[in-house]
Structure 1
Amino acid sequence: MKKKDKPISLIKSVDHAFELLEQFRGDVSELNMSELGRRLQLHKNNVFRLLATLESRRFIEYNASTGSYRLGLKAFHLSRMVARQMRLVSRARPTMEAMVRKCNETVCLTVLREFSVICLDGVVCTQPVRVVPPIAIRLPAYCTAAGKAQLAHFPGDKLARFLSEQKFERNTPYTITDPASFLENLQQVRQQGYAVSREELEVGVTCVAAPVRDYSSNVIGAVVLPGPITRFSNDRLIEELIPHAVKGAAEISGHLGYC
């Protein structure tokens, strides 16, 4: 945080919950309530409420045989998810850097989480006017090329749930807000193997995206090239940028075992 920034008011209970989880590290696999209270310098009642809350969310579990607490399955699942994402980023990064050198446009690596697009990594081009990747920021999937490149490969039941739950809000005059038109667009994306978003999320920005697959052929992410509409003409999209995105996504998929 910069000194000039206004201090953020932290939620103490949330801060204490994370501090509690951080006690289980290194060789420490289990801790009883008294030890946790000593480490956190909190009253026993406060520690009990924290443990009860985390246990209800499966981040903590009680070991009846030892009378102590340990990390729960939810914490394990989250750690595995982070590990998978880090492997994806590390294997994709060299290809992304090579893509930027070739076309001098920004390249992003994205995933879907709860029907939102999250950018895991990005390599920024040297153009004077460029799009800077919004790392770790959630963006609506329905109006982004990255989202559509992945949604197009959803199984029928999951796609139906998305359509029933998604609020198609109009971000720009070009946003697709009709579910039937959106579904038709996804069918086209699935057939052609890439997605294009022309000013659907932000006026003046065009994106092209291609899906990334893992060893089991599942779509687990998308490679995205975002840029100003002035440089992303139809001719350049067709002749250069779309093939570039598709080739880059295929190369990353190959690194992940897809063939």
Structure 2
Amino acid sequence: MEKSTQPEAVSSVLKVFNILSALSDRKEIGVSELSQNLMMSKATTYRFLQTMKTLGYVEQEGEADKYALTLKLFELGSKALDHVDLIDLAHTEMTKICHIINETAHLGAIDEKSIIYLHKIDSSYHLRMHSRVGRRNPLYSTAIGKVLMSHMTEDEVRELLADVEFKKHTERTHETVEQLIEELQLVREQHYGEDNQEQEPGLRCIAVPIFDRFGAAIAAISVSFPTIRFDEDKKQEYIALLHTAGRNVSEHLGYHSYPV
């Protein structure tokens, strides 16, 4: 029953999820019973359980033959639900901004060593930022990346970007982590991040953070402008709109100490 025409890696993933599903139906279960239920050998079942135990998804009572799920899957599921709520909340605020200034708004977060766009509302102009939900961009050359990294320590930033190549997208792009860290101090003080043609020529972007109930900067809202439509005299107005949006979303997530 264990033979499969699928690649070994895919077969292993299926086994893991079958084990998780079986464990979810019982408070605890022994290796022998679990292996019989899943029609897997006892040795294979034991090997998978030990790996899952090491990763923190399964716990074992002492040296007993009984295994049970931990709360780690609950933790992962809760994070996913947080993002669903976040997108709904951010959509309302992003719509307000776009209605006023008619420029493209993004919701983004850090994922591994880049930013990922979670939501987007387009400008009605033909000339606008070409992006899509799910697209990734570098941390060091984007307003969203900068404003989120500004809530990390210098050591955390260095560790995050240790293996990242600083590619020169434009003549304005940072070339080293030292240059970036110097700018992050300013971002901390002003509570917003900027991309002034650092990721793409002719494009400016401003971003502000969103905080969860614990005060962690979990995402950011940004507005992108073609430079020909960016009005420097209205820059503070743009920032104020973004801060209002960031504050409103943060408060709905349970954070009531927005910095501005």
TM-score, L = length of structure 1 = 0.77
* CA deviation vs aligned residue, 1:100-141 (integer Å, no higher than 9, x gap): 333333322222344432333333444434446544455432
SS at match of 2:97: helix
From 166, 170, 177, give the equivalent of 1:169. Answer: 166
Residue of structure 1 equivalent to 2:19: 20
Q: 1:50 to 1:91 in 2, by over 3 A?
A: same
Which segment is superposed worse, 124-133 or 194-203? 124-133
C-alpha distance in 2, partners of 1:59/1:137?
Answer: 30
Residue 148 of structure 1 deviates from its aligned partner by 0.4
Contact kept in structure 2, 1:205 and 1:227, CA below 8 Å: yes
Q: How does 1:23-38 map to 2 (within 5 A)?
A: 23-25=22-24, 27-38=25-36
Unmatched 5+ stretches in structure 1? 1-7
C-alpha distance in 2, partners of 1:138/1:70?
Answer: 37
Residue of structure 1 equivalent to 2:247: 250
* CA deviation vs aligned residue, 1:171-208 (integer Å, no higher than 9, x gap): 41232012332122112212222111134334454322
Contact kept in structure 2, 1:222 and 1:249, CA below 8 Å: yes
From 45, 51, 57, give the equivalent of 2:55. Answer: 57
Contact kept in structure 1, 2:110 and 2:219, CA below 8 Å: yes
From 71, 74, 85, give the equivalent of 2:72. Answer: 74
Contact kept in structure 2, 1:171 and 1:202, CA below 8 Å: no
C-alpha distance in 2, partners of 1:62/1:204?
Answer: 58
Does 2:191 align with 1:179?
Answer: no
Residue of structure 2 equivalent to 1:102: 100
Which segment is superposed worse, 169-178 or 142-151? 169-178
Q: 1:205 to 1:158 in 2, by over 3 A?
A: same
Q: 1:24 to 1:188 in 2, by over 3 A?
A: same
Aligned residues: 249
Seq. identity, %? 27
SS at match of 2:140: helix
Contact kept in structure 2, 1:55 and 1:72, CA below 8 Å: no
C-alpha distance in 2, partners of 1:193/1:36?
Answer: 53
Residue 149 of structure 1 deviates from its aligned partner by 0.6
Q: How does 1:1-259 map to 2 (within 5 A)?
A: 11-25=10-24, 27-64=25-62, 67-131=65-129, 134-162=132-160, 165-173=162-170, 174-231=172-229, 233-235=230-232, 238=235, 240-256=237-253, 257-259=255-257
Aligned Cα root-mean-square deviation (Å): 3.2
Contact kept in structure 1, 2:168 and 2:175, CA below 8 Å: no
Contact kept in structure 2, 1:152 and 1:186, CA below 8 Å: yes
Residue 59 of structure 1 deviates from its aligned partner by 1.7
Q: 1:215 to 1:48 in 2, by over 3 A?
A: closer
C-alpha distance in 2, partners of 1:14/1:201?
Answer: 37
Residue of structure 1 equivalent to 2:3: none
* CA deviation vs aligned residue, 1:39-59 (integer Å, no higher than 9, x gap): 544333332222222122112
C-alpha distance in 2, partners of 1:43/1:19?
Answer: 14
Q: 1:38 to 1:126 in 2, by over 3 A?
A: farther
Q: 1:43 to 1:161 in 2, by over 3 A?
A: same
